[in-house]
Amino acid sequence: MEPRVIKTEYQYREARAEVERLVQLDPAPESRDGLRLELLSKLVDDYEMVRFAFAKPDPIDAIMFRMEEQGLRQKDIAPLLGGKNRASEVLSRKRSLTLAMIRALHEKLDIPSGLLIREPTARYRVKRASSRRATASRRRRGE
C-alpha cells in the first residue's frame, strides 16, 4: 500500500491495518518503516479528525456536565453566576451568560471560555396564543 490521503472507509481500514503491523515491528524512528509508520499515523489521524468530529456542546450543557462531573449543585455555582436566582435563570436558559460569569466559570470550573461564549441552544416553551376575541370576552367577565 502506497501512502496517500485517506478518502474512503476502505482506505482507512487498510491504513489502520498497516499502522498496526508496523507498530508490532517497533521500527527505529528514522528507518524506512519508522518513517512510513509516522506518515501513515498522520494520515489516519487526519482522516479520523474529519470523519469522527464531535460537535461542541452548548454552554449550559457544558456547565451541567462539569457540575455533574464535580458533584456540584446549583447552589454551589450560584456565587459564580451572581446569586441563586441568577443561577436558576441561567441554567433554565432564561438568561444569557455575562462576560463576568464566563470568566468565573472558566477560572473556577476550568470550562473552556470558547465553549461558554457560544449562544446556547434555544429551548423555549411556546404558549398557545389566544385570540383577541377570547381575550376581550374574558376581560368583560372580569377574569
Residues of the chain with pLDDT under 50: 124, 126
Q: What values do phi and psi take at 124, rounded to 5?
A: -95, 150
6 secondary structure, DSSP code: -
Q: Are 40 and 15 in contact (CB under 8 A)?
A: yes
| Residue-level pLDDT at 130 | 53
Between CA 10 and CA 27 the distance in angstroms is 25
CATH class of 59-117: mainly alpha
| Residue-level pLDDT at 123 | 57
| Residue-level pLDDT at 2 | 85
Q: Where are the domains of the chain?
A: 9-51, 59-117
* Model-wide pTM > 0.75: no
| Residue-level pLDDT at 138 | 59
Between CA 124 and CA 117 the distance in angstroms is 20
Per the listing, cell 368583560 goes with 140
Sequence-distant (≥ 6) Cβ neighbours of residue 9 within 8 angstroms: none
| Residue-level pLDDT at 38 | 96
| Residue-level pLDDT at 95 | 92
